[in-house]
Amino acid sequence: MAKKYQINLTQQAQNDLEQIFYYIADDSINNATNFVLQLEKKVYSLEDFPDRNPFIPENEFFGTDYRHLIYKRYRIVYRIVEKTVFILRIFHGAKLLNL
């Protein structure tokens, strides 16, 4: 059986989720709720095998070991430390990574 990892959303990632919700909610609260719930489902899927996703290309510039999971047009950027997955940012893929 695979080892389970703890998921830890940073304050910035929580803020990102809120901003995504409010952006979509301008058109439809139902769509915003459903989309954020699906995003959260993807985030918590990292409890199992978080290393299945690739390293981000920006690691070359930042000197980091961050990975990302893509959901629709959004990137979930995270870092694995022992048995914890730290969700650093959740943002639209057209934007530049800003940690």
- As a dihedral over the C-alpha atoms of residue 70, residue 78, residue 89, residue 96, rounded to 10 degrees, the angle is -70
pLDDT at 43: 97
pLDDT less than 50: residues of the chain = none
> Hey, what domains does the chain have and what are their CATH numbers?
6-92 (3.30.2310.20)
pLDDT at 94: 66
pLDDT at 71: 94
> What is the spatial distance between Cα 20 and Cα 16, in angstroms, rounded to a whole number?
6
Of residues 89, 84, 85, 86, the one with CA closest to residue 99: 89
pLDDT at 1: 55
| Residues whose CB falls within 8 Å of the CB of residue 32, separated by 6 or more in sequence, listed in order | 20, 21, 22, 23, 24, 25
